[in-house]
Amino acid sequence: MANFKQKTMFAAVAAGLASAAGTAEAVHINPDGLGQVLVFPYYTARNGQATLISIINTQGNTKVVKVRFLEGKNSREVLDFNLFLSPADVWTGAIVETTAGARVISNDNSCVTPSDLFAETRVDGAGNALNAFKNYQYTGAFADAGNFASLDRTREGYFEVIEMAVVDDDLVDGNAIGAGTAQTVTGFIKHNSAGVPANCAALNSFDNFAGNPATTRFPNTGITGANLLVPPRGGLAGRASIINAALGANYSFNPTAFDAWSVVQKYTESGNLSPSITEVDSGTAALIGPTSNVFTSAGIVTTVWPVAAPVTSGRDAMSATIMRNSLINEFILDTSTASQTDWVVTFPTKRAYVSAGTGAAIAPFANNFANATATACDPYGVGVFNREEQVPGSITPVPNPSPLPPGVTVAGSQLCYEANVVPFGAASLLFSTNANPLIASLQSFVNAATSTPGSLTTPSIRSTQGPNGYMFMNFNSATQVLATGAATTTRTPLGGAPAAVAGAVYNGLPVIGMMLHNYQNSGVTSRYGGLVEHKYTRSITP
């Protein structure tokens, strides 16, 4: 019922905003899971694990999509390619381990550029396979930490799927493309009755890479006023699964979907570091800056970020959509089932605020990526409870209004990477090297047996609760704020009118993630994997 109410509120408020200039096109999380941008919080190819991916075009148009993989320590790109999805098409692939690092493999028929990306018959200028993850963006002139220069760093991270454009079908802008060029391109991409596109290799000549002699290239046809590519329309969906074949575990999850990310086409050739998810272009006119919508239980908060600063405004608009002051999830560490729990905590826009080197980062983050020991750490507070309401130490209960505060805050807890793994047990379930262990006092608490059976007639019905419970991870330091500054912010309550908010502040950090846990069936050679996405709280003041 809560989910239904949230979606109903989303639709009602969005409909009301549609008539307000500058707010109808605003980047936001789509609660229905479809969008122009998908962000998957984690991938891994460590210790024989593989991450399987599917990307779906749910619409009736032909999409040009950027697929980008970023390593997890400092969000340096390790591979990107352009994917062409015809109507109702699905692309599948997998991230797998190599001798030195990782790579993406696929036997899917959907077109990509370069068209021989997955054929593994060609190497790049440095002699590396086209589909292998590279360390070019964190070595040499781009080095951020000498101890992290190896390809091993590419084995875990996160990835983005960005709809850059739609091949012009004249359904929206009514602009005749001329000479049938768009129809030719969509004909190359469309699967035939055998499930194979007509001519993926032909798309290479349309790619706007340096030195391409073709006269007809994306995004334009060479004909004045006739664009081959038009703005994205959303409708992307996806799924990922982390498979541990050795243990027989599968952890499947959905990405966070963002809609209204851009109202203009943002095509770049394969291998270009743009567009980034922070390049928000959601304003509906030249005088309107990147705009964000955040849906809360009380209505919607809309911020129009300054048009004069597109780089910082786009970054802040995207961050605003996922600014949370706390995240909440469970931990399961039963010894009888050999259970383990890892939390994934990812900051997908952190790279836009954090530079390589020492010193302070740009708020809401605290530190730049200094070196292999200090990295770029941000503090978090903790409220941790076992299943019987117990907390570390002695805390005197007092009445509190809802929502209840966390039970205890422990200093010293930090998240130091961009895609972080927090193991609750002695070792990481995901075998992560981006692990941020709980400090000793917390780990002792969460790993302790916490309650005893009651006096029921059949004690086995009420078995001992082992080291299980839930935890708040709070982002409430003085640095962890995103101030709107010169931006314009309004609040729109459900059924009400927008009201201006002076000096609005989004508190917390821009975060997404999930909890993974496993079970082993005692006496049977079987393991089970489970995954639960985090829950969050928001604080936007005043």
Going by pLDDT thresholds of 50, 70 and 90, the confidence category of residue 370 is confident
Q: Which residues of 262-281 are buried (b: 16+ CB within 10 A; e: fewer)?
A: bbebbbbbbbeeebbbbbbb
Distance CA 26, CA 13 (A): 13
- Asked if 305 and 315 touch (Cβ cutoff 8 Å), the reply is no
3-state secondary structure labels for all residues of 470-526: EEEEECCCCCCEEECCCCEEEEEECCCCCEEECCCEEECEECEEEEEEEEECCCCCC
pLDDT in tens, 152-172: 999 999 999 999 999 987 665
- Asked if 468 and 318 touch (Cβ cutoff 8 Å), the reply is no
Alpha helix segments (H runs only) across 190-277: none
- Asked if 327 and 538 touch (Cβ cutoff 8 Å), the reply is no
pLDDT in tens, 314-331: 999 999 999 999 999 999
CATH of domain 33-164+230-263: 2.60.120
Q: Which of 62, 57, 116, 124 is nearest to 90 (CA)?
A: 57
Q: Is the peptide bond between 364 and the residue preceding it cis, with omega within 30 degrees of 0?
A: yes
Looking at residue 181, its pLDDT comes to 77
pLDDT in tens, 101-158: 999 999 999 999 999 999 989 999 899 999 999 999 999 999 888 788 999 999 999 9
Q: What tokens appear for 104 in the block? A: 């993406």
Q: Which of 505, 531, 533, 534 is nearest to 518 (CA)?
A: 531
Distance CA 41, CA 344 (A): 7
Going by pLDDT thresholds of 50, 70 and 90, the confidence category of residue 39 is very high
Looking at residue 15, its pLDDT comes to 47
Looking at residue 224, its pLDDT comes to 52
Q: How far is CA 499 from the centre of its chain?
A: 31
CB atoms within 10 A of CB 22: 19
- Which segments of the chain belong to CATH 2.60.120? 33-164+230-263
**pLDDT above 50 (res 22):** no
**More confident: 190 or 12:** 190
Backbone angles phi, psi at 188, to 5 degrees: -65, -35
Going by pLDDT thresholds of 50, 70 and 90, the confidence category of residue 279 is very high
Q: Which of 76, 34, 28, 71 is nearest to 55 (CA)?
A: 34
Looking at residue 404, its pLDDT comes to 43
In the chain, % of residues over pLDDT 90? 61
Looking at residue 286, its pLDDT comes to 65
What average pLDDT does the chain have? 86
pLDDT in tens, 62-88: 999 999 999 999 999 999 999 999 999
Looking at residue 522, its pLDDT comes to 65
**pLDDT above 70 (res 17):** no
Going by pLDDT thresholds of 50, 70 and 90, the confidence category of residue 1 is very low
Tokens 């396979």: give the residue.
129
**pLDDT above 70 (res 13):** no
Mean pLDDT of 492-511: 92
State the pairing for strand pair 509-510/512-520: unpaired
pTM: 0.90
Distance CA 282, CA 258 (A): 11
Q: DSSP letters along 161-202, please?
A: EEEEEEE--SSSS----STTHHHHHHHHHSB-TTS-BS-GGG
Going by pLDDT thresholds of 50, 70 and 90, the confidence category of residue 434 is very high
- Asked if 467 and 438 touch (Cβ cutoff 8 Å), the reply is no
DSSP letter (8 states) at residue 33: S
Distance CA 254, CA 258 (A): 12
- Number of residues in the chain: 542
Burial of 208 per CB tally in 10 Å (0-12, 13-18, 19+): middle
**pLDDT above 70 (res 453):** no
Looking at residue 209, its pLDDT comes to 86
Looking at residue 180, its pLDDT comes to 63
**pLDDT above 80 (res 379):** yes
